[in-house]
Amino acid sequence: MSPVYRTHHCNELRASDVGREVKLAGWVNMHRNLGGVVFLDLRDREGLTQVVFRPEDNAELAAEARKLGHEDVIQVTGEVAARIAGMANPNLPTGEIEVIAHELRVLNRAEDLPFEIGGDVKDEDLRLKYRYLDLRRPQLARNLRIRDKVVKAVRDYFHANGFIEVETPILSKSTPEGARDFLVPSRIWPGKFYALPQAPQQYKQLLMVAGVEKYFQIAKAFRDEDLRADRQPEFSQIDVEASFVRPDDILSLTEGMLAAIYRDALGVEIQTPFDRVTYYDAVNTYGSDKPDRRFGMKLVDLTGAFRQSGFKVFRGAIENGGVVKAINAKGFASVTTGQLADLETTAKKFGAKGLATIKAEGSEWKSAITKFLSDSERETLRTQLEIEQGDLILFAADKWDRACEVLGRLRLRVAEMLNLVPPNDVRDFLWVTDFPLLQFDPAEDKWNAVHHPFTRPHAADMQLLDEKKYAAVRAEAYDVVLDGVELGGGSIRIHEPELQAKIFSILGVNEQQQQELFGHMLRAFRTGAPPHGGIAFGLDRIVMLVCGETSIREVMAFPKTNRAQDLMSQSPSPADNRQLRDLGIKLAPERESS
């Protein structure tokens, strides 16, 4: 670094530097004008250093310093001095010393800012509009630094394991499955469009065909869907693919990567290997394929107990091929009417017809359903759910998947109400394995890929595929979950053209479409494609959890709002007519907005 502007950064000087002539540059963080002597805290990326201007040394300079304001950018030349006895600041790494200024250069004045850099800003709208100021604030500045450490840890880790980073195109081709694509019109080919990649999925598989063997990339991906706290239209993936691998290889590779991330970014050792839970067990026990296991409240199956029940709602659900399940919200008999209404709304939102509950208050069970229950049924409930005084029991009676989902959602809601979710440093990593390969969509009346169409069916389930028992076919797919958040997912892929074509057919992609949309893939698979598989991670989500944040916007430099706008640059914005003409695009009248 050239010493023209500075010789040290603002978190560098210590008592051992006393007597040195130094130059510092940065922002005026705090300004303390005592009438005579002037102190200011100079801030740069690394920290703070106190600078002193003493009128007895240089009255003119002190007068200049008196005129400085917050966030002015200055350069100071001076001598490092020990602070006078008893005046050290133990809260500052540089608190033993100060720089006695000999020279002051104002590099740039700052006008009054829309918010204080050191303050608390609640209005995210305002933060996003002035994102470059928001990023000066300690929290976001820290998040940027942590993100950099995570990215570096990832690159170091994969390089150390023989992976090479390969970039893939941003201008690529639209595919029928999955999210809505962002389209980019082609000028050279009027009427034709590129699509921005939802993931580098096809390219990375083609890199395996190319013999790259071990590929990774920190890749941008784009999905034109509605946003959430953990979803942005444009986001980053850690994309990984390797040849001649089995699921275990990818799982342990991932565990090593996450361990390296936590070690390098936080200095924390995480426990590996992670637990593995099948998709069935995860849903059956926690009502979710990304379970948060940091609190209990497991789903208990009561189907056996109610098969012959006098309570028609439960018996009827079972006779229709469903199940009866319940969770015990320990100590929540104190639930308020409002909370109970909230829980019932939640249950109905996810397809329950109603919400049966039991409040175990004193020796009494307060419930609308207990009068339908036999003594032995009550006893079974008591033992299986381990009901004690003060507990609240929530039931679901429905088809297995719906009952599980309803209770899974209730479980999360109750955990929130009871503050059961532990702090961020209690980490629960786990694998969810053996996902179903296919899922029937009644709305479209067709089978869809749960993961994506290149996912390999379990070898043991190939026969079920031929027997068209599609719902029972398991995939060689896996998700890694941390504290109820899906960090990433992947699979072993199909490398045989015949099997791939068969899967496409089941998904309703006819032969002509297969050739048009995936012809290059099928052809590539006929040229000596090695067995391969991989995984992709949501980098933003990983960084979010490492930083202890609850929104990925807090770990992205320039995120967009809920409605996909950049409030700083005001994108998206209208295109002028000339641009549109070049692209051969005419707007439909109703879409011509401001």
Instruction: Please report, as ranges, the residues that interact with RNA according to CB under 7 A.
Output: 30-37, 39, 41, 50, 52, 54-56, 69-70, 83-84, 87-89, 91-92, 95, 98, 112, 114-116, 119-126, 128, 177-180, 198-199, 201, 223, 225-231, 349, 448-453, 551, 553, 561-563, 565, 567
Of 59 and 459, CB closest to RNA: 59
Instruction: Give least dist CB 349 to RNA, A.
Output: 6
Residue of 71, 16, 15, 23 whose CA lies nearest to 51: 23
How many whole angstroms separate alpha carbon 318 and alpha carbon 332? 28
How far apart CA 138 and CA 118 sit, in angstroms, is 8
- Rank residues 35 and 589 by Cβ distance to RNA and give the closer one: 35
**Rg over CA atoms, the chain:** 30
Q: How far is the CB of 165 from RNA (least distance, A)?
A: 20
Of the pair 119, 528, the CB lying nearest RNA is at 119
What stretches of 364-425 show up as alpha helix (H) in DSSP? Answer: 375-384, 400-417
In the complex, least distance from residue 275 CB atom to RNA, rounded to whole angstroms? 23
Shortest spacing between CB 489 and RNA, in angstroms: 9
Choose among 585, 478, 546, 563: nearest CA to 266. Answer: 546
Would you say 162 or 338 has its CB closer to RNA?
338
Please identify, using beta-carbon distances, which residue of 195 and 546 lies nearer to RNA.
195
Nearer to RNA, 381 or 449 (CB): 449
**Least distance CB 113 / RNA (angstroms):** 7
Nearer to RNA, 242 or 259 (CB): 242
In the complex, the smallest distance separating the C-beta of residue 535 from RNA, rounded to whole angstroms, is 12
SS3 30: strand
3-class SS at 511? Answer: helix
Q: From residue 110, give the alpha-carbon distance in Å to each of 28, 82, 114, 172, 230.
A: 10, 30, 11, 43, 34
Q: Where are the alpha helices (DSSP H) in 166-273?
A: 201-209, 247-266
Element (H, E) at 393: strand 392-398
- State yes or no: cis peptide before 273, omega within 30 of 0: yes
Closest CB 334 distance from RNA, rounded Å:
23
CA 421-252-215 angle, to 5 degrees, is: 110
Residue 318 or residue 544: which is nearer to RNA going by CB? 544
Least Å distance between CB 176 and RNA? 10
| Strand 47-53 relative to strand 38-44, pairing | antiparallel
